Amino acid sequence: MELMKDPVTISTGVTYERKNIERWFCTYKKNVCPATMQCIESLDMTPNHTLKRLILAWRNAQSGGQSCSSSSPDRHSLKHDELMALLGMIESTPFKVSCLKKIKSILEIGDEIKADFKRSEGVEVFVKIIIQVLVESSDFVTFRACEEALGVLQLLPFSEEEDDESIQLLMKPECMKSMAIMLQRGSGKAQFCTISIFQKMAKADCHWNYVAQDQGIEFFKSLLEITSDETCTKASSCALQVLIGILDASKKSRLKAIEAGAVSILIELLPDSNRSKCEKIMQLIRLICECAEGRLAFIEHDLAIAAICKKLLNVSDAATKIGVKIVWLLCNFHSTERVLEEMLVCGTVKRLVTLLHISGRSTTKDRVVKIFKLHSRRWRRYPCYPCELKGYWGLENESC
C-alpha cells in the first residue's frame, strides 16, 4: 500500500519494490513469487523504468493539484479506506510486518479510527496472526508479525460493556498460549505490549484472572522475571499489577506462583524498590502468605522477615498496613520459636511497639494488639523485649 521507489520485475512478470523482494529472496530464503507462488529458478531483477516514470508523473500531478485545490478530502474517510484495504490483504500478503506497521500508524491518529478497526473485525484478524506463532514458532517472519500485532492491539482501549467480544477473542486458549510465548521469548517491547494488554483485559473483565490461572508454571515465571526488569520500569509495574489480580482470584494461582519462585524473587526485589513498587510487592507477599504453602516458603527464606520489618513505618501507611498483616498471618498460623525469635532480633517487635503508641484506633493497631496478646509471654523471656510492655499486658508482677 506504499508507493514504490525502485520498482523491479522478476521472472514471473510481477513488479515489486527492490528492497522488499531482495529481503524475500535473500533474508527469508524464499524461492517463489510472493504474488503467484510460482517457483523461481532465476533471481534476476529488471528495473521497471516505465512504472517508475508513471509514479513520478502521478506524484507531480498530486502535488500540483493540492496547491490549486481550496479543500482537501476528509482525512478520516481516506484513512478508513486505507485501513480496510490493509485489513483485507494482511492475511495473504508475504509482507505482514510492513502492513502491520502501517496499520499501527493509522490507529495512532485517534480513537475514531480505533473504533473503526474494532467494528471491522480487526481484532479477529489480528488474533489469527498471533496464534500462528503456535504453528510456526521457529519462523522469524511469523514471530515478528506476532510482535507487531501485539504492538497494535496494545493501542486499543478495552471496556467491559463495549469490547466484550474483543476480550473474548483475546481470552481464547490459543491466543493466551501465544501471548505466553511472547512473554517468554519476545523482545522487551513485545513483552511490554503483552503485559499492557493483560492489564487492560483484567480491568475490563474480571473473568480474565481465572483464565490466566490456568496457564502453566512458565507463564508465572515469565511474569515474575519481568517484575525484576530494571530496563523497563513500566513493564515491571504492569507485571506486578497483573500478578496481584491473578493471585487475588484464587489459591490455585498462588500455588503456581510459589512453585515459580515468587517468594524469593519478591523478597530480593523489596529492599531497593520505590514506594509504589514496594506496596505492590508487599501486596503480593501478603496474598502468598494467606495460604500455608506460601507462609512456609516465606519463613524458609533467610531474609524474608527482616525485609518486611525494614519496610514497617519507613515507606507509607499502606505499606505498613500490609506489612502488619503479613506479620499477623505468621504469628497466627506459623508462630514457631525460630520465627518469633527472628522477629525480636531483626526489630519487628520494636516497630510493632511503636505502632502501639500511635494515637487513635485502626485495624492495623488492633492487629498489633492481637499479636502481642498471642506472643508477649514468649517474647518477654528475651533480654531485648521492652519491659514497659509488661504493664501494658498486665504482666507487671513478672520480672524482666
Q: How far is CA 219 from the centre of its chain?
A: 11
The reported pLDDT for the residue numbered 72 is 45
pLDDT score of 162 more than 60: no
Cα–Cα distances in angstroms (integers) from residue 190 to residues 208, 238, 369, 386, in the given order:
20, 13, 48, 54
pLDDT score of 214 more than 90: no
Q: What are phi and psi of 151, to 5 degrees?
A: -65, -35
pLDDT score of 198 more than 50: yes
pLDDT score of 57 more than 60: yes
Question: Residue 310 CB: number of other CB atoms within 10 A?
Answer: 18
Across the chain, what does the average pLDDT equal?
A: 86
225-260: pLDDT as tens digits: 999 887 778 899 999 999 999 999 889 999 999 999
17-26: pLDDT as tens digits: 998 998 888 8
The grid coordinates of residue 12 equal: 514471473
Residue 386 φ/ψ region, left for φ over 0, alpha for ψ in the -120 to 50 degree band, beta for the rest: beta
The reported pLDDT for the residue numbered 258 is 96
Rounded to whole angstroms, the Cα distance separating 105 from 125 reads 17
Residues 6+ apart with CB under 8 A from 96: 90, 129, 141, 145, 148
Reported as half-sphere exposure (CB side, CA atoms, 13 A), residue 72 has a value of 10
pLDDT score of 73 more than 70: no
The grid coordinates of residue 70 equal: 481550496
Helix, strand, coil % in the chain, rounded to nearest 5: 65, 0, 30
**Which amino acid makes up residue 252?**
K
- Residue 39 three-state SS: strand
pLDDT confidence band for 399 (50 / 70 / 90): very low
pLDDT confidence band for 210 (50 / 70 / 90): confident
pLDDT above 70 as % of the chain: 89
Cα–Cα distances in angstroms (integers) from residue 333 to residues 54, 145, 295, in the given order:
80, 50, 8
pLDDT above 90 as % of the chain: 46
The reported pLDDT for the residue numbered 69 is 45
**Mean pLDDT computed over 10-36:** 89
- Range of lowest pLDDT (56-60, 73-77, 229-233): 73-77
Is the model more confident about 349 or about 360? 349
The reported pLDDT for the residue numbered 333 is 93
Residues 6+ apart with CB under 8 A from 381: none
**Helix H or strand E encompassing 65:** helix 49-68
pLDDT score of 384 more than 50: yes
Q: What are phi and psi of 383, to 5 degrees?
A: -60, -30
pLDDT confidence band for 182 (50 / 70 / 90): very high
**46: which strand partners?**
9
**Mean pLDDT computed over 149-157:** 94
The reported pLDDT for the residue numbered 64 is 57
- Range of lowest pLDDT (74-88, 97-111, 147-161): 74-88
- Range of lowest pLDDT (72-86, 98-112, 281-295, 310-324): 72-86
